[in-house]
Structure 1
Amino acid sequence: MIETVLGPIAADQLGPTSMHEHLLADVRGLHAPPREPPPTDPRVRIESLGFLRFNQLGLADNLVLDDPDLAIAELAHAAAAGQRALVDLTVWGFGGPAPELPRIARESGLQIVAGVGAYLGRLRPDWLRALDVDQLTTLLRDALLDRLPGCEHRAGIVGTIATGHPRSAEDDRILAAAGAAAASTGVAVVARVDPRFHDGPAILERLAAEGVPADRVVLSNVDGYVADRDHLRELAASGAVLKWSFGYEAPPRVGMTSATDAERIDALCQLLEEGARQVLACGAWTKTALRRFGGPGYDHLLLRVVPALRDRGVPEDQLDALLVGEPRRLLDRQDPIST
């Protein structure tokens, strides 16, 4: 059984899926002084797209997605390209639970699974940071079994869970609670790795200590390791699922590391040949990721990435595993691993 924002569905009803998107989000906490004079208009406009290409965090307005109607319009393109489902991983620190998701699901026709969790420490709300492990575990379990706070729907997965480096005591509480809640409800976990460090094995170890096996963990941000194939192989060998997010390619001056889609595809194809578990996404989280503002859109995955994989010779059964088989396995609730 897969828990969507419109209620449970049988696993075999899940269609081609993006495993990481943001439909409504607010990460203005990441706003940073730009490297060049900003536009006079603080809103994202066509005239500011050149600036934002090199200063993604330089306009606070770029870091807010707050229009359900725009989300529905953008998802229409994804549906037309053949996408049938997505996982919205907008957690506390990234905007939090969105009560509008059921409406977006109904009007877009896409199956939406909501995540629950906490992003990086500096972005987390104070009330969340004050909770102990037991309180955090209860918060997450209630979201998975009853409803997300302020919403009428349940979460269907834990994540994204994002921790710093080195991990703080607060990070450890979040990670422990994520593992405990996932293990006791039978859901999978999405955990962010930091491409500046090799923190994936330690994250997997901590989740395993709470009863979550590696094959129930999705590691996000792995495209930061495209130049380190040995580490990608190490992560894949653990049994964890590697998630690739396509569409964003940072120019040299942006101050953030980013792979290109071509580099992501190269690494993904090599790991496919070696039997790695992998899933796909766009991971859109800014206005400039949307078609309305000149971005690739949520349809980038089915419209451009999948054809590129076909051009590389990836057979249909492997494409089906990336888009359908592995998402079904991950999102299908299992018997609780622990109680």
Structure 2
Amino acid sequence: MTAAIRTVLGDIAPEALGVCDAHDHLFISSVALPGQKLDDSEAALAELDAFAAFGGRAVVQWTPWGMGPRTEDLPDLSRRSGVHVISATGIHQAKHYARGELERVYGELPGLFIRELTSGRVNAGMIKVAGAYHRLDDHARHVMAAAAEAHHATDAPIGIHLEAGTAALDVLHFLCDTCEVPARRVILGHLHRFPDTRIHRQAAEAGAFLAFDGPSRAHHGTDWRLLDSLAALTDAGHAQQILLGGDTVTPMARSSADGPGMPFLLSGLRPRIERELGPDIACAIFTENPARAFAAQWRQP
């Protein structure tokens, strides 16, 4: 079976993905973040165009079910910008949903995920779930077990929101040892928020992809350690497992407003990575690694 990346315009060969922002948001809303939603299609297009102007060719939207992903708008944005877009199914932490919203789907999450991966007019290309701070709570275990079931049915990759970058090894133990998901199908997100290079190395040794994402977030104080974290992984032989994303979640974080937005990955970070780690490492991080992380041998249940 040939591996493919599932975009909102259909499946593509991994080598067609190009330079990729591996974790970002064109649309998102949460009851926990009032007044901070991304819901403007033209602003989303402007951000994609700005990213494309620096050579960006693909963006992965990690916005899961119930958080305003505006999935129906993504194909038009992809066509107009010329940027591949991968969307997500999945469930975030319970605090991001209105009271009663999760209860109506909680007992059928594997089926929900599988439908959104395989049966929609616009199919998702990954599953996004979340841990708790330094642990996995009951909600996280329930949702991750459902994600594992959907993975086994479809081969979809699973992306993890690590709360403040913590509990990476707990996630891998649960998904890989308990739920039998191969570590190479797991993408651990927000590792820059907890810059413990020993944990990063252990996660990489287990076989997972490691996503460092969030330079658009002004309230996170660990961006200055990003290059050290990437260098440590590279020196340990794990450059082929690193991903980078912008994780733009508010209007003011976009490049069209006051933030660095999606383009900063290529205008700000890529030159530093090329200079300090070399152009081959930069190519791996922005092009080769996403092509492997998001490719799947898609199965139809």
Q: TM-score, normalised by structure 1?
A: 0.81
Which of 298, 301, 304 is 2:262 aligned to? Answer: 298
Tell me whether 1:106 sits opposite 2:79 in the alignment.
Answer: yes
Q: Would you say the 8 A contact 2:255–2:263 is kept in 1?
A: no
Equivalent residue, structure 2, for 1:3: 6
Equivalent residue, structure 2, for 1:176: 145
Tell me whether 1:88 sits opposite 2:61 in the alignment.
Answer: yes
Tell me whether 1:136 sits opposite 2:77 in the alignment.
Answer: no
Q: Would you say the 8 A contact 1:180–1:211 is kept in 2?
A: no
Shift of 1:196: 6.8
Superposed, 1:180-329 pairs within 5 Å as: 180-195=149-164, 197=166, 199-208=167-176, 209-226=178-195, 228-248=196-216, 250=218, 257-260=220-223, 262-276=224-238, 277-312=241-276, 314-329=277-292
Q: Would you say the 8 A contact 2:201–2:233 is kept in 1?
A: yes
Task: Give secondary structure in 1 for the equivalent of 2:127.
Answer: strand
Which structure 1 residue ranges, 4+ long, deviate > 3 Å from structure 2?
A: 129-133, 165-168, 248-251
Q: TM-score, normalised by structure 2?
A: 0.90
- Structure showing greater radius of gyration is 1
Shift of 1:225: 1.8
Deviations 1:61-120 (A, max 9, x none): 3x1111111111121111010100010111135324531111111111100011111111
For structure 1, which runs of at least 5 residues remain unmatched after alignment? 32-59, 252-256
Equivalent residue, structure 1, for 2:28: 25
Q: Supply the AA of the counterpart residue of 1:310.
A: E
* Distance (whole Å) between structure 1 residues aligned to residue 29 and residue 113 of structure 2: 20
Distance 1:83 1:332, change over 3 A: same
Shift of 1:216: 1.0
Shift of 1:132: 4.5
- What percentage of residue pairs aligned between the two structures are identical? 27
Q: Would you say the 8 A contact 1:2–1:10 is kept in 2?
A: yes
Pairwise CA RMSD: 2.0
* Distance (whole Å) between structure 2 residues aligned to residue 246 and residue 268 of structure 1: 14
Task: Give secondary structure in 2 for the equivalent of 1:127.
Answer: coil
* Distance (whole Å) between structure 2 residues aligned to residue 186 and residue 95 of structure 1: 25
Shift of 1:163: 2.8
Q: Supply the AA of the counterpart residue of 1:5.
A: V
Deviations 1:160-179 (A, max 9, x none): x1132453333222110011
* Distance (whole Å) between structure 2 residues aligned to residue 186 and residue 97 of structure 1: 24
* Distance (whole Å) between structure 2 residues aligned to residue 129 and residue 168 of structure 1: 17
* Distance (whole Å) between structure 1 residues aligned to residue 109 and residue 159 of structure 2: 16
* Distance (whole Å) between structure 2 residues aligned to residue 98 and residue 10 of structure 1: 21
Equivalent residue, structure 2, for 1:54: none
Superposed, 1:25-64 pairs within 5 Å as: 25-27=28-30, 29-31=31-33, 60-61=34-35, 63-64=36-37
